[in-house]
Amino acid sequence: MDAFWITAQGSGSEGVPERVFPYWSFTKTVLAICALRLAEDGELDLDAQVSDAPCTLRQLLDHSGGLPDYGPLPAYRHAVAADEEPWPTETLFRRTMAQGVRFAPGQGWAYSNLGYMLARQHIETVSGQRFGALIRDMIAAPLGLRGCRLAESREDFAQVHWPAARRYHPGWVYHGCLIGTAEDAALILHALFDGRLVSAHSLTQMLDRHELGGALEGRPWTLCGYGLGLMTGEVGAAGRASGHSGAGPFSVNAVYHFPDLPRPVTVASFTDGHEEGVAEFDALRIALREGGA
């Protein structure tokens, strides 16, 4: 288990600070930050329909577009396990959409990695920049992050801590997969909540959530929901938590901000395995300790 935390009084870590990890779905939070920044600059409209999708960018970012997910596809899982090369995006889109839409846009909620692939494509088309360049210019450079970047090849993944992941092709994560240290992940989320990455109005939009229910088995959530690129709800004694968990073939992570503690704290936790709840409980443990609960 490796973790990094930040409070107004300082920061700290468990594990080896130099280790590099895949961020998996925490990348969705970063993609949403880029979208909100572009919206602030007038370069895109969150509520305009996206090309190649029957829904808006906002609906893609909060998973209310009704699109299916490619994760459950047996052929996708087999190809990843067999260490094949990623499919062309057109092939992935066709195979995923063959499952059919889940509901009319805005009439429900269903987690969709395909939706985030389309969101990334739209953002890149509108901005005229690749996602990796947007991350560098909008987030990594302003925050002085030392190693956080978009992984695009097996060679990039050769740097990660988990030996089993070093030949994984990040192209299988079609919305993109960031790699970096636990510290860099915590710094990104902390900067989001202290106003250095988006405006207060944009952050309010990101936190405007779909209520998804109460306690989740094997996880610390007592109330859960989803906003724009943010899992957000409550985790018992710590009160509110907002951020994102992530899981891939070899590891899990939880990157969350806990604003209700006596000392608000941001925690990024990374571990091996397949259960996001393990990383979430560890982030909660550190938050309660460092937040003065």
Query: Residue 97: what pLDDT?
Result: 96
**Residue 50 DSSP symbol:** P
Q: What is the pLDDT of residues 107-119, one digit of tens each?
A: 999 999 999 999 9
Contact at 8 Å (CB) between 186 and 4?
Answer: yes
Q: Is 85 exposed, middle or buried (0-12, 13-18, 19+ CB in 10 A)?
A: exposed
pLDDT above 90 covers a percentage of the chain that reads 94
Query: Residue 116: what pLDDT?
Result: 98
Q: What tokens were used for 222?
A: 């007592």
* Domain annotation for the chain: domains and CATH numbers: 2-290 (3.40.710.10)
- Does residue 13 have a pLDDT over 90? yes
- Does residue 201 have a pLDDT over 90? yes
Q: What confidence tier does 78 reach under pLDDT thresholds 50, 70, 90?
A: very high
Query: Residue 4: what pLDDT?
Result: 98
- Does residue 220 have a pLDDT over 80? yes
Return mean pLDDT, the chain. Answer: 96
pLDDT above 70 covers a percentage of the chain that reads 100
**Closest-CA residue to 115 (of 226, 250, 249, 253):** 226
- Does residue 293 have a pLDDT over 80? no
Q: What span, in angstroms and rounded, lies between the C-alpha atoms of 102 and 110?
A: 8
Q: What tokens were used for 8?
A: 């107004």
DSSP state letters, 69-126: -STT-HHHHHHHHTTPPPPPHHHHHHHHHTT--SSSTTS-----HHHHHHHHHHHHHH
Cβ neighbours of 111 (radius 10 Å): 14
